[in-house]
Chain A
Amino acid sequence: MKITIKIQNTLGIHARPAGMIANTASEFECDVKIIKDSLEINAKSIMGIMMLAAGFGSEIEVVTNGKDEKEASVAINSLFEKKFDEE
C-alpha cells in the first residue's frame, strides 16, 4: 500500500528522525520503501533515508509491500504525525 506524507517538522528528516524511521521499518517483515522525486530507497536503511534529503515541506511516498504492510504503514505515518516528538 502507498501513502503520501508532507514533511511537517522544521528540521526535515535529519539523522534522528531517519533513525526512528529505520528502526520502526525494521520491526516489520514487509518491504518498506520511501520515494521522493525520482529517488526510491529502502526505509530500513538509515543512510538511504538521509540520502533523500527530505527537508521541511517536501513530499514523500511511503510504499509498504508484504503481509504486515498495513501495520507498518500506520506506524510510520504516526512518526511523521507526531513530528518525531520534536515539536
Chain B
Amino acid sequence: MNDMSFLERVGHYFDEIGLIRIGSTYAADIDFLIILVLVVVGVWFLLAEYIFIHFILKYRAKPGRKADYITGKEKHLKRWITIPHLMVLAFDVLIVVVSFQVWHKIKMDLPENPDAVLRITGQQWAWTFQHPGVDGELDTADDIFTVDELHVENEKTYHFKLEATDVLHSFSVPVWRLKQDAIPGRSITGWFQPTITGEFDVQCAEICGFGHGVMAARVMVEDAETHASWVAANTPVAAAPAAGQATPGTQ
C-alpha cells in the first residue's frame, strides 16, 4: 500500500477494512467517488444535525420567555440560508464532475483492442457464458460454453456482449463494481479488467421470476498459466482441429 498516493489509498478504503474487495481496474474509481460523496454529505449531515439538535436543546420553552418574531426577511438571518444553499450547489458541481469521470471510464469509453470478447446470456434462471476457445475469437467452432461459471484471465481486458433470452436480468459482479442490465432483443457491450485472482460471486440484480434468488454464478479469475490450461482442456474436441481458422461470416 505504501507505493500508492493518498487519493489511491482513499479508493482502496473499503478493501482495506474488509468490506468489499477491489477486483477490477475501475473498482477503486467507484469507491473513491463513494468516499468523496460520503465525506461531502457526511460533513453537511453532521453539521445540520448538530445545529438542529442544538436549537432544540437551547430553545426549550422556559417560563417568562417568549419566542422571537422572525419573518425570514431579515437580511442578516436570511444569509444563513442563502450562503449554505449556494455551497450545496458548489459541492453538487464537484460530485457531478467526479461522477462524470467515473461514468465515462466505465460505461462510455470502451477500451479498444480487448484481449478477448465474451458473450454473457441471462435466462430464467442461469447465466450462460460463451468464451473464445484456443483461437481467441468469439463465435467460432471452438467456443467454450459454460453455465454459471465464467473463466477469465487476470490483468486482461475483456469486452462482453450481454444478452437475455426471456426477461430482464442484470449481470452484477460486486468485487468488480460491474453491473449492467440484460435486455431480451438487445446486445449490450461493456468491459472489465480483473486485477485479482480468485473466485467471486455473480448476482442477478434484476428480479427475474421464481428462481431469481438462486441465479448465482461464479467468476474464476485465473493467472495466465491456469487459464491457458483451462482453455486447452475445455475447448470442444470436435472443434479443436479447426482451431485457428475463424468460421467465416460470424464476425
A binds B: no
List A residues at the B interface (Cβ < 8 Å).
Answer: none
List B residues at the A interface (Cβ < 8 Å).
Answer: none
